Every structure is written in structure tokens, then in C-alpha cells.
Amino acid sequence: MRAFHNNPALKEHYLAQIRMPKIREEILQKGGWNDGRDAVGCISHGHNVLDFEIKLGIPNVLGSVLNSIFLRLPSEAAVDFLEAFILSIKPGTDLSGVWKQYASWLLVDRDEGISKFAISGAEVIFEISELYRNSCTEISRWAVLAKSVREKWQKDFWQAFHARPATDVTEYRRIATSSLAFEAAHEAANAGLYFLRNKVEPACRSADRCLWQAAKIYFEDGGEDAYVEASKRQAFKILDYLRQSSDERVIRTCPYGHKLRLPTGKSGTVRCPVCNTSFSTIT
């Protein structure tokens, strides 16, 4: 699968569409195109997340990521995000690995990862992240982790339910955010499991809910503003990954064995920054 089916004109077409003042106004007013309150509809003019891949050559799950964040941003920021999403993607790029990277970031990143909210048993969140990192294709391993993270979530959920804000607000929040973290991780595990079973639509729904629960943690902690800020950080990160994937590089070695990361699709002489030796290569 190649982004925009490797056709720059297709990217321009979708960009022009989003930039049309009439469309922009409509999205700002109604939160979507033609009464459809979603980002995928704004772009693909269809209301099915499965249209995304067919029309744009972009994995459906990234349509779900886009949608999930879009609906949580203030309207101006949401429209800008929509445009930035399209802009970040270079036609012809294979984006099939982006969800795996993104899910792993969402789960265990040192600053943003939801694992830090788990009161106990965060290991299971790291294990799910490992499955994503290693592109694990063993259904049984995904299933085992989905089940054990679900148990964690249920346990914390009922504990939070019984703790209730009335008794001790701080303690309640601590348990409630832990419960949400496990719930988000459960959705991440489910998404991986559904993908392996070729159930794309439920996989996309799980990915959407995973992001949503991850942002809700911040609502529990800091209210609406913190929730929107968390959604914005999710937006910046997906744009980052899209740009990184579009910037394709290959490794070439100089005559003295130093490894250089070079842009693809070029040929000519390169000077090694370490030993200053020039050598010719094709990327």
C-alpha cells in the first residue's frame, strides 16, 4: 500500500478540498462534512473508515487515529490538524508500520506513556508494547495479554467505583486513572488481536477508543483543559511519525566502515563526516 496511491495529484486534490473556504466553514460549524461528524468523512467524503485505505492509500487505522483526535480538538485546531495530517504524508510512502510505532509510544513512552498511571502491574502494558514493537503475529500471545490487561482494568475499575470521590478525592483519582490506563491498554491489545484476525473495522474502533481512554486519563486528573492538551500531544506525535516515515533513508557504509543514513533515490559522491573520505554510492 502506497500513500495517495503514489500519486501526488491525489494529495493535492484532498488538500485543495480541505482548504476550500466553503468546506472549512462547514467543518467548523458542524464538525464534519455533510452532517458526518468525523474527519474521515471530511477527507474521503464517505462515512466509512474503510474508505480511507481505498481512496487514499493510507491504512484505515490511521483514519481512526485521525478521527479520534479530530473529534477531541477545538474546531479551529481540528481543521488545522486535518490539513497537517494530509500535508505530513509524502505520496508513495508505505505507512503500514506507523500504527505499531504510535501504539507503542502511547503505551510506554517515558513522558507520555499510559503505563506510568498504572498503580501496579504496569508490566502487562510493556508486554503489549513489545508485541507491537516486534510485530508479533502469534494470536495466542496477543489473546493472553488482552485477557490479563482486562482483568487489571476490571479490578481497578471496581476499586475506583467503591472509592468514589466522596471518600478521598486524591485516592479516587489515582485508582480511576489507573483503571483508564489499563482500559486503554486493553483496547490496544484488542486492536492488535483483531488485525491478526483480519477484522479491520473492530480493530479500528479499538484503536480509536485506545486513544480516547488515554486522553481521558488527563481529564480525570486536570479537567477539560488537560484533556484537550493531551489530545493535542497525540496530534503532534502522529504528525511526527507520518513525517518520519515519509522521510525515507537507507544505511550506506563508507570504505572505512562508518555507517551513514542517506536519503533514498539518489546517486553520486558522498563525503563521510567521520573520516572525510569521499565515495560513490546509489541509494
Footprint of Zn ion (CB under 5 A): 254, 256, 258, 272, 274-275
Whole-number Cα distances in Å, 128 to 131, 143, 182, 259 = 5, 10, 11, 32
Q: Least CB distance from residue 279 to Zn ion, whole Å?
A: 8
User: CA 2 to CA 113: how far, in whole Å?
Assistant: 29
> Which of 106, 96, 59, 45 is closest to 236 using CA atoms?
106
Q: DSSP state, 196?
A: H
Calculate the CA dihedral of residues 60, 65, 66, 69 and round it to 10 degrees.
Answer: 160
Name the residue nearer to Zn ion (CB basis): 21 or 268: 268
Q: Give CA–CA dist 93/1, Å, rounded.
A: 8
Nearest alpha-carbon partner for 71 in 48, 37, 103, 41? 37
CB atoms within 10 A of CB 219: 18
Question: What residues does 271 pair with on adjacent strands?
Answer: 278
Compare residues 114 and 254 and give the one whose CB is closer to Zn ion. Answer: 254
Nearer to Zn ion, 158 or 256 (CB): 256
Q: For Zn ion, give the closer residue by CB, 161 or 256.
A: 256
Q: How far is the CB of 254 from Zn ion (least distance, A)?
A: 3
Provide, rounded to whole angstroms, the least separation between the CB of residue 256 and Zn ion: 4
Closer CB to Zn ion, residue 139 or residue 274?
274
Q: How far is the CB of 253 from Zn ion (least distance, A)?
A: 8
CB 57 within 8 A of CB 1: yes
CB of 247 to Zn ion, least distance (A): 23
